[in-house]
Structure 1
Amino acid sequence: MSSKLEQLQDFLKETPQDPFLHYALANEYLKLGNEQESLARFVAITEQFPDYVGTYYHLGKLLEKLNRTDEAIIYYEKGMVVAQSKRNMHALNELRGAYRLALGEDEDEDY
């Protein structure tokens, strides 16, 4: 187990309601090549902290990598709703671009 992974798990024990720590841990598992653990953690974040908008993009990209594009599209759509409700235009634009690419559209096309 990596020291960063252990450190994140220790931090999470201290503050289990911090969505960023859950997100960081999911990303660390991904960096270590444990895609299934990362996937499970990203999905859990969307359930436990649905307003944590950064999760949706990374979850969608991981699902695409796992050839689960239909599921990725669903999470991109959910993420766009959250980003819009939070008025996070940067996240909305990133999600919209990923969504369009997943649909096979040109990223610059307008609806």
Structure 2
Amino acid sequence: MSQNRLEQLFKFLEEDPTDPFTIYAIATEYRNNDREKALGYYEKLLTEHERYVGTYYHAAKLYEELGQNDLAEQTYKKGMLISRQEGNLHAFSELQQAYNKFAGLDYEDE
């Protein structure tokens, strides 16, 4: 996590507190070093910017890592729904693959 990058992102957030990309970037910066803070920003996006498709994969993965499997499942499913509604088939495919792996539905040969 780069402190300078975080400082710059918080300046951007001050200028436009509703910009989903800035909120997403802050969550991403926190992702590896402070998962709880990252989760707070992802949840803000899920609540206030539910059509920001990029959030769903990362939020669901983080829920998984934190052992919050019910929330992970709900997040994957909602992300798949919204990504299809938005016509973002790339995001849908990534979410579907991650969900299938999470749910034990990936049938890859071993």
Tell me the TM-score normalized by structure 1: 0.91
Question: What is the percent sequence identity of the aligned residues?
Answer: 40
Distance 1:41 1:17 in 2: 12
1:7 aligns with 2:8: yes
* Residue type at the aligned position of 1:15: D
1:11: Cα distance to partner? Answer: 0.6
Determine the structure 2 residue equivalent to 1:24. 25
The count of residues paired between Structure 1 and Structure 2 equals 107
* Residue type at the aligned position of 1:3: N
* Contact 1:80–1:96 (8 Å) recurs in 2: yes
* Contact 1:64–1:72 (8 Å) recurs in 2: yes
1:107: Cα distance to partner? Answer: 5.9
- Secondary structure of the 2:31 match is helix
* Contact 1:19–1:45 (8 Å) recurs in 2: yes
Determine the structure 2 residue equivalent to 1:94. 94
After superposing on structure 2, the runs of 4+ consecutive aligned residues of structure 1 that deviate more than 3 Å are: none
Determine the structure 1 residue equivalent to 2:40. 40
Distance 2:95 2:88 in 1: 11
For residues 15-69 of structure 1, what are the alpha-carbon distances to aligned partners after superposition, in whole Å with 9 as ceiling and x for unaligned? Answer: 11210000000110113x1000101110110100010000000001111111222
Q: Against the structure 1 CA distance between its residues 100 and 9, is the aligned structure 2 distance closer, same or farther, given a 3 Å change threshold?
A: same
* Contact 1:63–1:71 (8 Å) recurs in 2: yes
